[in-house]
Structure 1
Amino acid sequence: MRERQVIVQLAQGLHARPASLFVKVAASFSSEIGLNKEEKKVNAKSIIGVMSLAVSKGQSVVLTADGADAEQALDALERVLVSVE
């Protein structure tokens, strides 16, 4: 399993539109992907799970991925979290 800590740079955090994009990107990979904020971990391919974290700009999250395309998944998801809307 690979993991990567990321500081969210999205102006509005992971609100509806960016969360939807994040889940869409996560779902494009075969790896199992998680998103952790503090002590809570959710499936990154679940819009309900991602939205339940209420991630704001400047907060630290940990991405986890386990599978053949784990590194590529982490790279792509990090780009989503640090892109400027």
Structure 2
Amino acid sequence: MKTFQYTIQDELGIHARPAGLLVKEAKKFQSAITLEGNGKKAEAGKLLAIMGMGLKQGAEITITAEGADEDAAIAAMEEFMKANL
């Protein structure tokens, strides 16, 4: 299991467009990828679950990848977050 923490920088937080892109990125991997923040947890492959977390600018989240390709998955998620959020 691999994890990293990230603080949301986007002034709108995780809204529809980046959430959709996040789901698309997460579905490239076999590993189970989860986001945890605001006292909530969601699978990265489920758009409505991510949107339901209500993550705003400044929110700290923990992203976890567990599975066969967890190293590649966590690296891709970290790169995605830094580039888009």
* TM-score calculated relative to the size of structure 1: 0.88
Residues 51 and 13 of structure 1, relative CA distance in 2, 3 Å threshold: same
CA RMSD of aligned residues (A): 1.5
Alignment deviations for residues 28-82 of structure 1 (CA, whole Å, 9 cap, x no partner): 1000110000321111100011101111122110001101211211121122222
CA distance in 2, matches of 1:48, 1:41: 12
Q: Does the CA contact (< 8 Å) of 1:31 and 1:69 recur in 2?
A: yes
Segments of 4+ moved more than 6 angstroms: none
In structure 1, runs of 5+ residues without a counterpart are none
* TM-score calculated relative to the size of structure 2: 0.88
Residues 10 and 76 of structure 1, relative CA distance in 2, 3 Å threshold: farther
The 10-residue stretch of structure 1 (54-63 or 14-23) with the greater mean CA deviation from structure 2: 54-63
Counterpart amino acid of 1:52? G
Q: Structure 2 matches for 1:62-81, cutoff 5 A?
A: 62-81=62-81
**Aligned twin of 1:41:** 41
How many residues align? The count is 85
CA distance in 1, matches of 2:84, 2:66: 27
